[in-house]
Amino acid sequence: MFEPIALPFMQRALIGGLMVSLLAGYFGPFIVQRRLAFLGSGLAHAAFGGVALGLLLGLQPLWAALPFTVAVALGIVWLRDRAGLASDTTIGVFFSISMALGIVFLSLKKTYSADAFTYLFGSLLAISPADLWTAGIVLALCAATLPLWGRWAYASFDPALARADRLPVLRDDYLLTVAIAVITVVAMKLVGIVLIAAFLVMPAACARVFAKTFSGMTLISLFISCATLVVGLFASYYANLPSGPAIILTQAMLLGIGLAVRRRA
């Protein structure tokens, strides 16, 4: 059963997948609690614009997508704060602009590139050692935000009261959104741009079914994210299926089971 672990590409996929799963499992509850599920999709499509720009300029797509997506994330928070627009409206604005730019950039590239499709649909089994280093650095940077967890959780439940207590809610919003943007770019190799939003939201949604506190929700989300990564990865290997969709479908099955159990309780 465990013979796939002996394969180098499966080892890289498992290690890289677990690192990204930890990131998604940790930040997912904030996305769900703040009702920002659309943010993952918006930033994923912003990343597509960055990937297309990188392909046009002959740069490594990941390094072009990272500053592009972070800039979009900052723009979303800035426009929401300055214009007084709802979050879903500002995300929709940048979502549309980024996709339009991505299509324009790809149309300007005269030669065909399969890399665009790799980032659209993901290729966990194609993770390289360089991708592992990138994921490891991002994981270490995000681990440095652990002391802010309580402040972020407070603002997630009652931002008005957090402001009254003189917490830097807006600055934290910028920091949290940038962190989600960076995770989105790193996760592109795992599940692809099309499925990133589900990967960020699904474990946290499952955890919310079982947990009674936000801390419990975070811990369960971390466990579910990592466990479904392992199960989905092995299922994709033995069933000869794409790894990203297999992981998402595993999470969806768990969510369905959780809802059925809670309904009967």
Domain boundaries, the chain: 3-264
DSSP 113: -
pLDDT values of the chain reduced to their tens digit, one per residue, 265 residues: 567 777 888 888 889 889 999 999 999 999 999 888 888 888 888 888 888 888 888 888 788 888 899 999 998 888 888 877 777 788 888 888 888 888 888 888 766 565 666 677 777 777 888 888 888 998 999 999 999 999 999 999 888 899 998 889 989 999 999 999 999 888 887 777 777 888 889 999 999 988 889 999 999 999 999 999 999 988 888 888 888 888 889 999 998 888 888 777 5
Dihedrals phi, psi of 76, to nearest 5 degrees: -60, -50
Q: Can you give the pTM of this predicted structure?
A: 0.88
CA distance 8 to 14: 10
For 206, other C-beta atoms within 10 Å of its C-beta total 28
CATH architecture of 3-264: Orthogonal Bundle (1.10)
